């Protein structure tokens, strides 16, 4: 398949009309020294170079910096391991027995942050009973303000593991720093949060270990940048990446973020990786979550990530967007039927 | 219901701590002269005015311009006729016999622009056979470039009416200027396009006539601004307004716009007006339209607006986002079942 | 110069690798029938068409709709009359004796809206005395809410003309509808507001008359769309267009809009038309206006548009962003020296 | 001054009209247990709580999650150490003898990335000769693609230190991970890049050491979030923070980002920290840099950060936005005079 990658024109460069021949030749030699073939097309008035070969490592800004270049355009995608063109079948990621992708639908649920053993164990049992197959809970919390609750940190991880022991549900929790990696050895699915989507050192670190990774889209990152961040993880050897759309930043102020469900559709064309949707963070309002969850299923999501708290009014974090266990029960009743209606299999 | 509006605090004004008493008194008199009651709350260190009454006509920028004011916040919504609080039941809009809203689902389909009698009549028949209840077709086309096809204008309107005669489907088409209004007398549903969402003179003009209006959301307008534009039409006496979400402008470049399905959910809370979704303009890619249409149904849309062209590759406008009649047939087969699954009634 | 336009490759089309030859030939004939030459470059693995000729009327969406096309890119700009490439020298627009552009700097000042004869005449005199060469004042006001003050309309225009008679300053005011055009016959510079930047019927109408036009950038319009709207006016025969940057909509909430001064720099490369900056609407806070005005001069603006009100706290519109006459005096003292420092000539 | 903070209403909470008294009392007790005083204002129809005291640690989402709450608004800023209200004078940061802020202007210049000893030493000498007082150069490079040049890493840091020895200029370079901190001990000014602006663990780590920190604004972060990230560093004990505006992400595509010079003006109101501007990253086009640099000075920036490369066409990173040493010489000639014109002192 990489063969195909190598045979195709991957970048088109339009040269300036008045570019001196000597400089053009020098530029072409530079490109050839990188192992690229050049399809040179010179008309009476126009001069176009089609590059054939692996241009993934060539930045457009480098091409544009050359004085002979008028403009350039990448034709092939700058990602390979995550690219559906080279891996047409859906990837199915196995999280300790729970399958996500390729027709397998999974619901991840739990509180925004772990607050006590009672709280996390109670939530774990309720979301499991309602049909969630994975338990979420934050131990390290990224907060805009240094004065906000920063999570129970390693102690929280311990409580989350107790909840797993009690319920048997695999656990998902967020890592914020490479130095914390040893603490995550027993976590089933390691989450990289939106604010760290381009924390490249962290991406490399989770790419060098074997646990599956749930990568959330950055607040203002394009879909291509999102897939490139997955590529960072995969390029280090860990191909078990699940993408998570969680809303993007726009001018709208009535909701926390704008959920980009069209992004889910586009991601499924760009990449073979599974895509789950987090409606809770996207909108920030608990009352919107059920309807958005239904829309996400219809948009083709491979799973959902939903915040559920035993007592949202007392939650230390993001209570306004948390469902109660009873509300979650009701939602799961509908979602289970909807997943079937759309031809997928609920885990 | 307006009573309720009158009895409640509708705006909170925080005064500056060092505001001179005389100036504060003068400001209060000004507010009272507008017919407002003031709930004056002065603590040892803080001074808050709660305004009771109709503050719809008071702009926040006017309040903020007063030197005694630190900050202010509107508590009530600045719209009344469109507000669900004063009209809890869904509005059902009747477009020449086709009902939209309140559980009634309708599909509007047809080509982006009317190109010839054969083209529009053929498309009209095919979308009707597939289950669309309303026919769309552009006669006056808003185009970014003055050198692009500007539509067949009044001649196009005539052809659209011929297609209605042939099929019996009510017709929807866009108005771009108040001076064209007489030409729209026989149109069943008058569309105001995204670029004219804040063309206030046009809003007033369509508000002064009786035909229902399909109002599209501007590319970068908030949901509150969108509802305020509906309010412009309603304030002139025409309450038959259907809202249409068609994608907003964001930083993402892989799609034409970002479809805001969470906006549909929020609009249903803000207003009693029906909301339809146009996935074709939102994404700009025909292949994405079916999946987005399904997601729109699940998000609670009251209808869909979909571009269908007999031969997209030859379309004079927006061919890249048009479904073929066969693709539309297939989509409608699914949508019909999905609308039922979600408990609505297909027109 | 248009010759140059005709000889150059203006669009590059990459064909799909598996596109059937017959379909490609048909597509090429279609392009040739439009008067385009084709530079056909077929490698072992890639097939690129370089179009030579006038592709301004060809929409990229039309090209992309053809099933043989993988992707396309416009190389030349889609605008001609506004394009600096075909008109390298700065345009100088003469507004009843006041020159803007090409090293001539002009300040437009006055209240957001005309409220009474005393108000507008007083403001007119003060801004003239301070050094403004043009008087602004809104008669038709675009307001988000139908319940806000909509301007004094034609009566306001009459008062503005009285103020001109008193001071001799040419006047600038906004048009909102083609039907109002006869009322603007005596206006010196007709403003098209941000919300009407893509009201194409209005653009055509002001293009068919001879008065210079001040075109404001839409809240969420790209610079290319902005220049295309100028092109609409110019294509109808009126080349006297002045562009106005007034802030764009972003995610930031501490200011009304985000002033795009880099846009001024880019516009000066794209087009020969003069560019003025309106810091008042951009930020919405009077205290920010002086510093932003200074930055605009340094960014290369050809003029400023600044709101000045005799009593901002009583202004019927946008008081929070208006300078007092005294504040404006002080600002003009600095700006006059700064314009000279940057090598321009104050009108 | 903190006294003032404690005595003022810092948050206003509007209660729901039908909120049960018992629940409201319970909520008030909860607030009082946090050490807050409540200014309770109950009218016939409205019930407002004004909170007096330190609400920095209270998230609005927590308040909104309580079922008795209709809406809430923070009146005081959520940051304290960075807040100009509690520190009215400009902070002056000393970077190894170079002063920034409070009327002191400094230029930071150098290549995007360190490529060799010759390259960095040559650039260092040229930018110093031109008048730059600090040398920049990237050793750890955040790149969107894992296949792009990732910087020379610790070897690059060594070369940068050699260049400092040769020229005497203090050095600035970016840190990407807490684990690399020991390598930065000899760096004069540690940069936290835009993609790490909300990497809170990294912010805490640079806050726990003593070197000054240059914090770049995230691509899509509000000004308040930007100041909150500075607050993270300051809350750990390091008050030597310099802010850097480097462009935000918008819908515009002709430039890499949109430089937010109004943000510089607003930041100077919000905080006492110095603000420098990086026009190179903001626009991505070398030809725009000089004009934007001039505009930044006029907007009140306390410094500039400019990319200069010996041979932009061969640069391993961001060549398209780099000035040549000769172009930088010419720019510095103008900037030096402009800084004086605006009443500041060039370092």
Residue that is last in its domain, among A46, A74, A102: A74
The per-residue pLDDT for D8 is 67
> Which residue is closest to C200 within chain B, CA to CA?
B142
Q: Is A146 on the interface with D (CB under 8 A)?
A: yes
Q: Which of A15, A28, A34, A62 to mutate to test the interface with D (most CBs of D within 10 A)?
A: A62
The per-residue pLDDT for D242 is 98
Q: Is B73 on the interface with D (CB under 8 A)?
A: yes
Angstrom distance (rounded) from CA A257 to CA A272: 26
> Which residue is closest to B294 within chain A, CA to CA?
A298
Question: Which pLDDT tens digit goes with each residue over C286-295?
Answer: 999 999 999 9
Which spans in C49-116 are helix H?
A: 60-64
The per-residue pLDDT for D56 is 83
Q: For residue B146, give the nearest of C232, C312, C316 by CB distance.
A: C232
**C214 assigned to some structural domain:** yes
The per-residue pLDDT for C90 is 98
Both D12 and D91 in one domain: the answer is no
Beta-bridge partners for A345: A104
The per-residue pLDDT for A16 is 87
Averaged pLDDT score across all residues of chain D:
93
Q: Which of C74, C265, C267, C285 to mutate to test the interface with D (most CBs of D within 10 A)?
A: C265
Neighbouring C-beta atoms of residue A305, cutoff 10 Å: 29
Contact A118, A111 (CB under 8 A): no
A chain contacts of residue C144, beta-carbon cutoff 8 Å = none
The mean pLDDT of D165-191, rounded to a whole number, is 97
Query: Which range has the worst mean pLDDT, B244-248, C326-330, D49-53, D244-248?
Result: D49-53
**B79 assigned to some structural domain:** no
Angstroms from D137 CA to nearest CA on chain B: 29
Tell me which residues of chain B, numbers 12 to 71, contact chain C at a CB-CB cutoff of 8 Å: 56-57, 59, 61-62, 64-67
Averaged pLDDT score across all residues of chain B:
93
Give Cα A302 to chain centroid, integer Å.
Answer: 12
Question: Which pLDDT tens digit goes with each residue over D236-271?
Answer: 999 999 999 999 999 999 999 999 999 999 999 999
C-alpha distances out from residue A183 to A168, A203, B136, D203, Å:
20, 16, 59, 21
- Given pLDDT bands bounded at 50, 70 and 90, which one contains residue B1? very low
**B145 assigned to some structural domain:** yes
Beta-bridge partners for B277: B245, B304
Angstroms from B44 CA to nearest CA on chain D: 9
> Which residue is closest to B219 within chain D, CA to CA?
D251
Both A61 and A160 in one domain: the answer is no
Both A257 and A300 in one domain: the answer is yes
Contact B189, B133 (CB under 8 A): no
3 state SS of A38: strand
- Is A258 within 8 Å of B260 when comparing Cβ atoms? yes
Both B108 and B162 in one domain: the answer is yes
Angstroms from A258 CA to nearest CA on chain C: 11
Contact C49, B138 (CB under 8 A): no
Both C41 and C181 in one domain: the answer is no
User: Partners for D (CB, 8 Å, 3+ pairs)?
Assistant: A, B, C
Both C238 and C269 in one domain: the answer is yes
Angstrom distance (rounded) from CA D125 to CA D134: 11
> Which residue is closest to B220 within chain D, CA to CA?
D251
> How is residue B173 written in tokens?
């088409």
The per-residue pLDDT for C73 is 84
Both B61 and B184 in one domain: the answer is no
Neighbouring C-beta atoms of residue C84, cutoff 10 Å: 18
- Is A57 within 8 Å of D220 when comparing Cβ atoms? no
C chain contacts of residue B61, beta-carbon cutoff 8 Å = 284, 317-321
Q: Is A201 on the interface with D (CB under 8 A)?
A: yes
CATH code for the domain of D26: 3.30.70.1140
CATH code for the domain of B161: 3.20.20.70
The mean pLDDT of B80-88, rounded to a whole number, is 94
Q: What is the DSSP string of A219-238?
A: TT--HHHHHHHHHHHHHTT-
Query: Domain range for residue B317?
Result: 84-346
Q: Is C74 on the interface with D (CB under 8 A)?
A: no
Contact A196, A178 (CB under 8 A): no
The mean pLDDT of B219-231, rounded to a whole number, is 97
User: Partners for B (CB, 8 Å, 3+ pairs)?
Assistant: A, C, D
**D181 assigned to some structural domain:** yes
> How is residue A249 written in tokens?
């930043």
**Of the ranges B291-295, D8-12, D58-62, the best mean pLDDT one:** B291-295
Contact B15, B68 (CB under 8 A): yes
Chains B–D, number of C-beta pairs less than 8 Å apart: 70
B chain contacts of residue D220, beta-carbon cutoff 8 Å = 251
- Is D292 within 8 Å of C269 when comparing Cβ atoms? no
Angstrom distance (rounded) from CA C277 to CA B113: 37
Q: Is D255 on the interface with B (CB under 8 A)?
A: no
Q: Is the pLDDT of residue D33 over 80?
A: yes
Both D35 and D144 in one domain: the answer is no
The per-residue pLDDT for C7 is 54
Contact C172, C160 (CB under 8 A): no
Angstrom distance (rounded) from CA C114 to CA C95: 21
Contact D65, A312 (CB under 8 A): yes
Angstrom distance (rounded) from CA D239 to CA A140: 25
Residue in C106, C125, C117, C120 with CA at minimum distance from that of residue C167: C125
Tally of domains in chain B: 2
3 state SS of C67: coil
B chain contacts of residue C195, beta-carbon cutoff 8 Å = 198-200
**A152 assigned to some structural domain:** yes
C chain contacts of residue B143, beta-carbon cutoff 8 Å = 59, 200
Can you tell me the ipTM of this complex? 0.94
Chains A–D, number of C-beta pairs less than 8 Å apart: 139
User: Partners for C (CB, 8 Å, 3+ pairs)?
Assistant: A, B, D
The per-residue pLDDT for B44 is 64
Q: Which of D313, D315, D322 to mutate to test the interface with A (most CBs of A within 10 A)?
A: D313
- Is D220 within 8 Å of B251 when comparing Cβ atoms? yes
Residue in C67, A263, C115, A294 with CA at minimum distance from that of residue B260: A263
Both C60 and C108 in one domain: the answer is no
Q: Is the pLDDT of residue A92 over 90?
A: yes
Q: Is A199 on the interface with D (CB under 8 A)?
A: yes
Length, in residues, of chain B: 347
Angstroms from B45 CA to nearest CA on chain D: 6
Contact D171, D137 (CB under 8 A): yes
Low-confidence ranges of chain C (pLDDT < 50): 1-6
Q: Is B228 on the interface with C (CB under 8 A)?
A: yes
Q: Is the pLDDT of residue A5 over 50?
A: no
A40 burial type by CB count under 10 A (0-12 exposed, 13-18 middle, 19+ buried): middle
The per-residue pLDDT for C72 is 87
Q: Is A224 on the interface with B (CB under 8 A)?
A: yes
Q: Is C254 on the interface with B (CB under 8 A)?
A: no
C-alpha distances out from residue D101 to C252, D97, D128, D277, D331, Å:
25, 13, 20, 13, 21
The mean pLDDT of D153-170, rounded to a whole number, is 97
B117-130 helix and B154-167 helix, angle to the nearest 10 degrees: 40
C-alpha distances out from residue A318 to A197, A279, A291, Å:
21, 13, 19
Question: Which pLDDT tens digit goes with each residue over B327-344?
Answer: 999 999 999 999 999 999
Contact A19, A8 (CB under 8 A): no
> How is residue A295 written in tokens?
């829309």
Q: Is A225 on the interface with B (CB under 8 A)?
A: no
Q: Is the pLDDT of residue A296 over 80?
A: yes
Q: Is the pLDDT of residue A293 over 90?
A: yes
Q: What is the DSSP string of A159-176?
A: HHHHHHHHH---EEEEE-
Upper half-sphere CA count for residue D197 (Cβ side, 13 Å): 27
Q: Is the pLDDT of residue A98 over 80?
A: yes
B261-270 helix and B289-298 helix, angle to the nearest 10 degrees: 30
Both D181 and D66 in one domain: the answer is no
The per-residue pLDDT for A44 is 63
Residue that is last in its domain, among C39, C74, C109: C74
Angstroms from A38 CA to nearest CA on chain C: 10
> How is residue A297 written in tokens?
């299923």
- Is A7 within 8 Å of C45 when comparing Cβ atoms? yes
Angstrom distance (rounded) from CA C123 to CA C129: 10
- Is B8 within 8 Å of D220 when comparing Cβ atoms? no
- Is D41 within 8 Å of B50 when comparing Cβ atoms? yes
Q: Is C315 on the interface with B (CB under 8 A)?
A: yes
**A79 assigned to some structural domain:** no
> Which residue is closest to B8 within chain D, CA to CA?
D45
Q: Which residue has the higher pLDDT, C131 or D10?
A: C131
The per-residue pLDDT for B3 is 37
Angstroms from C203 CA to nearest CA on chain B: 10
Q: For residue A61, give the nearest of D66, D202, D318 by CB distance.
A: D318
**D261 assigned to some structural domain:** yes
Contact C27, C66 (CB under 8 A): yes
Q: Is the pLDDT of residue A288 over 60?
A: yes
Q: Is the pLDDT of residue B55 over 90?
A: no
Residue that is last in its domain, among A35, A52, A74: A74
Q: Is the dihedral of CA B53, B56, B57, B58 positive or negative?
A: positive
C-alpha distances out from residue C259 to A220, B225, B241, C334, Å:
20, 21, 34, 21
A chain contacts of residue B260, beta-carbon cutoff 8 Å = 250, 252, 258
The per-residue pLDDT for D16 is 87
Both D253 and D137 in one domain: the answer is yes
Q: Is B253 on the interface with C (CB under 8 A)?
A: no
Question: Which pLDDT tens digit goes with each residue over A151-164?
Answer: 999 999 999 999 99
Question: Which pLDDT tens digit goes with each residue over B180-205?
Answer: 999 999 999 999 999 999 999 999 99
- Is C59 within 8 Å of B145 when comparing Cβ atoms? yes
Q: For residue D14, give the nearest of B12, B43, B45 by CB distance.
A: B12
Both A184 and A289 in one domain: the answer is yes
**C79 assigned to some structural domain:** no
A chain contacts of residue B288, beta-carbon cutoff 8 Å = 262, 265-266
**How wide is the angle at C-alpha B275 spanned by C-alphas B274 and B281, nearest 5°?**
150
């Amino acid at each position: 398949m990489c063969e195909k990658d190598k045979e195709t024109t991957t970048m088109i460069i339009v040269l300036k009309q008045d570019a001196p021949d000597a400089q053009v030749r020098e530029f072409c030699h530079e490109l050839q020294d990188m192992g690229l073939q050049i399809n040179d097309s010179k008309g009476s008035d126009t001069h176009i170079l089609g590059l054939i070969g692996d241009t993934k490592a060539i930045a457009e800004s480098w091409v544009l910096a050359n004085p002979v270049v008028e403009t350039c355009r990448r034709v092939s995608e700058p990602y390979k391991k995550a690219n559906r063109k080279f891996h047409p079948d859906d990837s199915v990621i196995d999280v300790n027995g729970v399958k996500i992708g390729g027709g397998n639908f999974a619901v991840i649920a739990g509180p925004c942050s772990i607050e006590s053993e009672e709280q996390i164990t109670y939530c774990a049992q309720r979301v499991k009973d309602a049909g969630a197959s994975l338990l979420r809970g934050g131990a390290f919390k990224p907060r805009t303000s240094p004065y906000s609750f920063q999570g129970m940190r390693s102690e929280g991880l311990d409580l989350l593991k107790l909840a797993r022991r009690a319920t048997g549900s695999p656990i998902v929790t967020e890592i914020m720093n490479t130095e914390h990696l040893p603490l995550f050895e027993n976590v089933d699915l390691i989450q990289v949060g939106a604010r760290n989507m381009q924390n490249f050192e962290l991406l490399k670190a989770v790419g060098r270990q074997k646990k599956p990774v749930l990568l959330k889209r950055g607040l203002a990152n394009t879909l291509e940048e999102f897939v490139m961040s997955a590529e960072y993880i995969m390029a280090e050897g860990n191909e078990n990446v699940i993408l998570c759309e969680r809303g993007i930043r726009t001018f709208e102020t009535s909701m926390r973020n704008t959920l980009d469900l069209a992004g889910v559709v586009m991601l499924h064309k760009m990449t073979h990786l599974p895509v789950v949707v987090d409606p809770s963070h996207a909108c920030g309002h608990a009352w919107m979550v059920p309807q958005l969850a239904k829309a996400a299923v219809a948009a083709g999501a491979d799973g959902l990530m939903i915040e559920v708290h035993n007592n949202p009014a007392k939650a230390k974090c993001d209570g306004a967007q948390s469902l109660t266990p009873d509300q979650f029960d009701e939602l799961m009743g509908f979602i289970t039927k909807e997943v079937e209606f759309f031809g997928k299999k609920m885990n």
